A and B are shown apart, each in its own frame.
Chain A
């Protein structure tokens, strides 16, 4: 195992708030290689035999434990697809922190495609935090194409925080969820693109069980000449409730296409979508300027708040 260098440390801090090795189970991956692993009595992590990636198994009844599995790339030209499967037993309450940071100072593209599958047992609660971040002055692109699949058993709860604020040139993120009876999914996505970046974020949620519910809220900002497409689909296949919301700010020459899609296959499905795209309201800038901020400072504060 190679030691973690300073650039990698910085990336780990950005994507997983790691200032030192985390408490609990973790699996650190740097430049395609294992950079650290810890398992606990309740959380096991095993390298897959057939392809790149890990299996994380959380014993039934595990409460208040965390699993960190951040990935960093600091060498130009690395391209990898990693399959991570989470098997969460029944009656658990756990925090899972993932995320990928790429620093590309070279001329070749660096790419990480993380395919995460969650199998969440009955009445378990999972909080999942995923941050994506890019840095580096090289001409090589920083590419991230995550896929997240969530299979939720009866009465389970999944809260997802998906954040990509800076530095990723191109992303195509797909999130798929299937919910059984009484399962609940909450997603909070924060996305900002700048320069000539492009981002596609699509959600496809199937509410299959009675009393299942999903609440998906995406807030995004497109600056400079960047473009975004947000596809949010919820299908109600039972007595269920679903809500999606896209709320976006466009600036400069940014472009955003929001495509909401609601599919009701049951008369008891209650589905709602809200979408709003617009520039920063002039009166918001004026208010903050009357507090002594410059127009640029006011703009930053408004965006920071919006993406918080």
Chain B
């Protein structure tokens, strides 16, 4: 179980300190597929980074399976079984797709093993295994490789920050299939996805609506989804002003 208690995270703004996350409480039950949604700028990505340890809260505590992980760094959280897929995948000069998947697996990984992760994200393994994870790959290719690194880690809690962004040439159906397969392959796996996409919201067990740095709604899909689709809850603040 993942519990966030009274979490606040602020940044220094021109006009002084600005809290992106404000005294937020959130509990994610084990073995669920939870989608966190809400308007842009509402704090969703920040929340994902707080869970992975990339950001440190200014107040509050985070518990993972009963352990207080607030003071644990990114590496320690990864070693506890938390995986994170970046919204904007990182590029590396000289590190190949195979190298990255081996690092992700954290154990010897055969080429066949690496290929199965690439096939899962819809890439023809033979064409990619020796490619460098650099700017020669398109945004969509990098995004799929990013997802493959999380698959290779086989974590108990996987956090995906807007996995659908940049994969428009690849069908949504495949992305949804990946999440379904992840759940099937390991019963004790919890998946958190940050997303705006209704098709991803549709496969959620639970939906959390974050806006203005707080949880506005949380509950089973059938209870929450009708309240947010067709409303302006998922529209960015700018769109609402205009």
A interface list, Cβ under 8 A from B: 219, 247, 281, 283-284, 286-295, 301-302, 304-308
In the complex, the answer to whether A306 meets B153 with C-beta atoms within 8 Å is no
10 contacts between A and B (CB under 8 A): A289-B78, A290-B52, A290-B54, A290-B74, A290-B83, A291-B103, A292-B75, A292-B153, A301-B103, A304-B94
B135 partner residues in chain A, CB cutoff 8 A: none
A140 to chain B, nearest CB (A): 33
Given contacts A301-B103, A305-B99, contact A289 B92 (CB under 8 A): no
B interface list, Cβ under 8 A from A: 52, 54, 73-75, 78-79, 83-84, 86, 89-90, 92-96, 99, 103-104, 106, 149, 153
B147 to chain A, nearest CB (A): 13
A295 to chain B, nearest CB (A): 7
In the complex, the answer to whether A281 meets B90 with C-beta atoms within 8 Å is yes
Chain A: CB-nearest residue to B79: A292
B89 partner residues in chain A, CB cutoff 8 A: 287
Identify which of A290, A293, A305 contacts B92 (C-beta below 8 A). A305
B109 to chain A, nearest CB (A): 12
With A and B bound together, what is the CA distance between A292 and B90 in angstroms? Answer: 16
With A and B bound together, what is the CA distance between A277 and B90 in angstroms? Answer: 18
Chain A, interface SS category:
helix
With A and B bound together, what is the CA distance between A290 and B161 in angstroms? Answer: 13
With A and B bound together, what is the CA distance between A293 and B79 in angstroms? Answer: 8
In the complex, the answer to whether B94 meets A291 with C-beta atoms within 8 Å is no
In the complex, the answer to whether A306 meets B74 with C-beta atoms within 8 Å is no
Chain B, interface SS category:
mixed
In the complex, the answer to whether B90 meets A291 with C-beta atoms within 8 Å is no
A283 partner residues in chain B, CB cutoff 8 A: 86, 90
With A and B bound together, what is the CA distance between A219 and B86 in angstroms? Answer: 27
Identify which of A287, A294, A301 contacts B90 (C-beta below 8 A). A287
A219 partner residues in chain B, CB cutoff 8 A: 93-94
- Count A-B pairs with CB separation below 8 Å: 56
B65 to chain A, nearest CB (A): 17
A294 partner residues in chain B, CB cutoff 8 A: 75
Most buried by A among B83, B89, B103, B106: B103
With A and B bound together, what is the CA distance between A295 and B75 in angstroms? Answer: 8
With A and B bound together, what is the CA distance between A75 and B136 in angstroms? Answer: 47
B106 partner residues in chain A, CB cutoff 8 A: 291-292
With A and B bound together, what is the CA distance between A287 and B49 in angstroms? Answer: 12
In the complex, the answer to whether A288 meets B103 with C-beta atoms within 8 Å is yes
Given contacts A283-B90, A286-B74, contact A291 B95 (CB under 8 A): no
B96 partner residues in chain A, CB cutoff 8 A: 305
B82 to chain A, nearest CB (A): 8
In the complex, the answer to whether A291 meets B93 with C-beta atoms within 8 Å is no
A287 partner residues in chain B, CB cutoff 8 A: 86, 89-90
- A-B CB proximity, top 4 nearest: A305-B94, A305-B95, A289-B74, A292-B78
Chain B: CB-nearest residue to A287: B90
Given contacts A286-B74, A301-B103, A305-B95, contact A291 B54 (CB under 8 A): no
Identify which of A247, A286, A288, A293 contacts B93 (C-beta below 8 A). A247
In the complex, the answer to whether B103 meets A293 with C-beta atoms within 8 Å is yes
In the complex, the answer to whether A291 meets B78 with C-beta atoms within 8 Å is yes
In the complex, the answer to whether A307 meets B74 with C-beta atoms within 8 Å is no
A286 partner residues in chain B, CB cutoff 8 A: 54, 74, 90
With A and B bound together, what is the CA distance between A308 and B92 in angstroms? Answer: 12
With A and B bound together, what is the CA distance between A293 and B78 in angstroms? Answer: 8
A284 partner residues in chain B, CB cutoff 8 A: 90, 92
Identify which of A281, A290, A301 contacts B95 (C-beta below 8 A). A301
B78 to chain A, nearest CB (A): 4
With A and B bound together, what is the CA distance between A46 and B34 in angstroms? Answer: 74
A246 to chain B, nearest CB (A): 13
With A and B bound together, what is the CA distance between A95 and B156 in angstroms? Answer: 50
B157 to chain A, nearest CB (A): 12
In the complex, the answer to whether B93 meets A306 with C-beta atoms within 8 Å is yes
In the complex, the answer to whether A302 meets B95 with C-beta atoms within 8 Å is yes
Identify which of A290, A301, A304, A305 contacts B84 (C-beta below 8 A). A290
With A and B bound together, what is the CA distance between A290 and B89 in angstroms? Answer: 12
Given contacts A281-B90, A305-B95, A308-B94, contact A291 B73 (CB under 8 A): no
With A and B bound together, what is the CA distance between A293 and B74 in angstroms? Answer: 9
With A and B bound together, what is the CA distance between A301 and B95 in angstroms? Answer: 8
With A and B bound together, what is the CA distance between A283 and B92 in angstroms? Answer: 10
B149 to chain A, nearest CB (A): 7
Most buried by B among A219, A283, A292, A293: A292
